Amino acid sequence: MPKSKSSENNRPKKATVGMQLLHNPILNKGTAFTDAEREDLKLRGLLPPRVCSQDQQMMRVLENLRRKPTDLEKYIFLVGLQNRNETLFYRTLVDNIEELMPIIYTPTVGKACQKYGHIFRRPRGLYLISEDRGRIDAVLQNWPHDDVSVVVVTDGERILGLGDLGANGMGIPVGKLALYTACAGVDPSHCLPITIDVGTNNEALLEDPLYIGLPQRRIDGSAYVELMDEFMESIRKRYPEALIQFEDFSGTHAFNLLNRYRSSYRMFNDDIQGTAAVTLAGLRSALRISGGALSDQRVLFMGAGAAGIGIGSLLACALEKGGVPKAEALRASWFFDSKGLVVAGRERVRDMQKPFAHKNPEIRDFAEAVRVLKPTAIVGVSGRPSLFTEKVVREMAKLNVRPIIFPLSNPTSQAECTAEEAYGWSEGRAIFASGSPFDPVSHSGKLFQPGQGNNAYIFPGVGLGVVASGAGKVTDEMFLVAAAALSDMVGEAEFAKGMLYPPLGSIREVSKVIAVAVAEEAFSAGVSSADRPDDLADYVERMIYSPDYGPLA
């Protein structure tokens, strides 16, 4: 049986008391310390007299939070709370996930990363730099926790759709791991955010005196790969059971590193595989609405980078499992990038794009590609706004009774079209999902609740399932079962509102169901050498951290 992760493992062993206790974010309960605790833990006099419940504390947090004039100010406030009282931070996040996810994660985290050096207060996570080559083992020893289940790592080169933000990208692993805890109940002390700073090619950051990273250009080539190889080995040595999730690397590095490590390490790339699973789940839900079959779909992607190629590959994998021959399964996906339609024989087709470079004349205009290829779905993963023009959406609506339109680029400002545009230009017939949230849209007397194909539906559950099963690697089949489980959890009530995913408010339940499905897949495929627990659902349930004040050890 895989090792159970007790949520007490990383808690300080010696009693911490007095002011030191109030300054320890893991143990601090603030005004919720009981009278007896105040006596025992030398807190008498150090706190205002009234003992508050966690609910009362949360009421105060929300009152303060909602007074903040901007989302960035809300982000700064929440990070401050996380630094003071982690349990209260997670209780507030869990109980208000729909309101706070857009602050803790996209779109606000994008703004936070752009200004990271300017809003910097306290370090979170671990920074590795190119000069650490040869000493990464030693740097990892500085991390205070001996038990880590999940590492999220970035090199900051492609932060959301915002480009190279260098070390400012730390906001991403920090935010993703907050979601691991909030959505899947991974103990926060088992989470390790890492930024590998190999420099930045962002001129504005290089000239910014408050930039927090190395003021130098990126290293690349063999020096970069050797640094990454050492990093992977060092993590395995210090944290042999940890899952390593790659985030926001550039498309080329993302693919090369995934292919380099996927069979020998417990790792995955969320931009490629997590995105693919959440999009496949959205497609499955869309087809439950339209009544179409997956094997009859033709998907045209705007953008042929990590996210797009990842989705095309998982879709091909799903079709092959359903009996479609490989060549045909690959032809379900067509790609359009900054040079036009990706076709065989075109100049500059990247290696990862080659399986999808089908025989066809070159086309440079996206609306023309839609007219010629007659897709059933268009998926935007270009990181560029407004590329799904009125002409494109109207053409999709002419070709399909229920056109599937997924502008997935993040943050909201980069979406290929807005929800209002998609519904408006298709007379309310579009089946819509975006990457970042959109407000409900009213069209012809009907209120649509735009679905958000948020990776947070997938990666926390997949991660928990991998950790729970002790799987040695992360397989495509795990993402297929996660996508199926996610789509199966959407009900008629959501479909009636145009939603393709379950409400975010149910995300802890969603993540648990996905975790069990993924762990089951790991055991049945023999990817885990551990014994399957008799009651897998109960085993997963018992691993889940709940942000309640417990007795102090």
Give the whole-angstrom CA distance, residue 476 versus residue 21.
Answer: 45
Cβ atoms < 10 Å from Cβ of 293 = 9
Which one among 166, 435, 498, 533 touches ligand NAD, defined by CB under 6 A? Answer: 435
Among 181, 409, 469, 475, interactor with ligand NAD by CB under 6 A: 409
User: Between residues 474 and 543, which has the closer beta carbon with respect to ligand NAD?
Assistant: 474
Sign of CA dihedral 435, 437, 440, 442: negative
What is the size of the binding site for ligand NAD (CB under 6 A)? Answer: 30
174 binds ligand NAD (CB under 6 A): no
Stretch that binds ligand NAD, among 75-83, 299-307, 323-331, 465-473 (CB under 6 A): 299-307
- Two tokens, residue 148: 């880590």
- CA angle 279/443/412 to nearest 5° reads 45
Q: Given 90, 105, 116, 501, which residue is catalytic?
A: 105
Please identify, using beta-carbon distances, which residue of 235 and 307 lies nearer to ligand NAD: 307
105 is catalytic: yes
- Applying CB under 6 A, does 419 fall inside the site for ligand NAD? no
* H/E stretch holding 151: strand 150-154
**Under 8 Å between Cβ of 18 and 43:** yes
Tell me what percent of the chain is helix, strand and coil, each rounded to the nearest 5.
Answer: 50, 10, 40
Rounded-to-integer distance, Cα 451 and Cα 170, Å? 27
Of the residues 28, 400, 410, 418, which one makes contact with ligand NAD according to CB under 6 A: 410
Identify which of residues 5 and 176 has a Cβ nearer to ligand NAD in the complex: 176
Pick from 164, 197, 337, 395 the residue near ligand NAD by CB under 6 A.
337
Task: Tell me the Ramachandran region of residue 125: left when phi exceeds 0, alpha when psi lies from -120 to 50, beta otherwise.
Answer: left
The Cβ of residue 123 has, within 10 Å, a number of other Cβ atoms equal to: 10
Contact 65, 77 (CB under 8 A): yes
From 83-91, 408-416, 488-496, 543-551, span contacting ligand NAD (CB under 6 A): 408-416
> Is 110 near ligand NAD (CB under 6 A)?
no
**Shortest distance (Å) from residue 239 CB to ligand NAD:** 26
Q: Which residue has the closest beta carbon to ligand NAD?
A: 305
* Window 131-170: contact mask with ligand NAD (x via CB under 6 A): ---------------------------x-xx---------
Residue 317 contacts ligand NAD per CB under 6 A: no
List Cα–Cα distances, 10 to 42, 233, 239, 532, in angstroms.
23, 23, 13, 26
- Of 131, 181, 126, the closest CA to residue 154 belongs to 126
Start-to-end C-alpha separation, the chain: 27
- Work out how close the CB of 162 gets to ligand NAD at its nearest, in angstroms, rounded to a whole number: 8
304 binds ligand NAD (CB under 6 A): yes
Torsion of CA 126, 310, 186, 26, to 10 degrees: 30
Q: Is 338 in the site for ligand NAD (CB under 6 A)?
A: yes
Q: Which residue has the tokens 């995105």?
A: 275
171 near ligand NAD, rule: CB under 6 A: no
Which of the stretches 21-29, 140-148, 383-391, 416-424 binds ligand NAD when contact is defined by CB under 6 A? Answer: 383-391
> What are the phi and psi torsion angles at 194 (to 5°)?
-130, 135
> Is residue 414 involved in binding ligand NAD (CB under 6 A)?
yes
CB nearer to ligand NAD: pick between 280 and 536: 280
Of 403 and 435, which has the nearer Cβ to ligand NAD? 435
Q: Tell me the residue ranges of DSSP E strands in 247-376.
A: 267-269, 299-302, 333-337, 340-341
Footprint on residues 233-252 left by ligand NAD (CB under 6 A): 251
Residue 271 in the binding site for ligand NAD (CB under 6 A): yes
Q: Which of 7, 382, 418, 487 lies at the binding interface for ligand NAD (CB under 6 A)?
A: 382
Q: What amino acid is encoded at 42 in this protein?
A: K
Residue 84's SS3 state is helix
The question of whether 359 is a catalytic residue gets the answer no
Q: Pick the binder of ligand NAD from 79, 126, 165, 307 (CB under 6 A).
A: 307
Q: Which residues are catalytic?
A: 105, 176
The site for ligand NAD (CB under 6 A) is made up of 158, 160-161, 251, 271, 275, 278, 302-308, 336-338, 381-384, 387, 408-410, 414, 435, 453-455
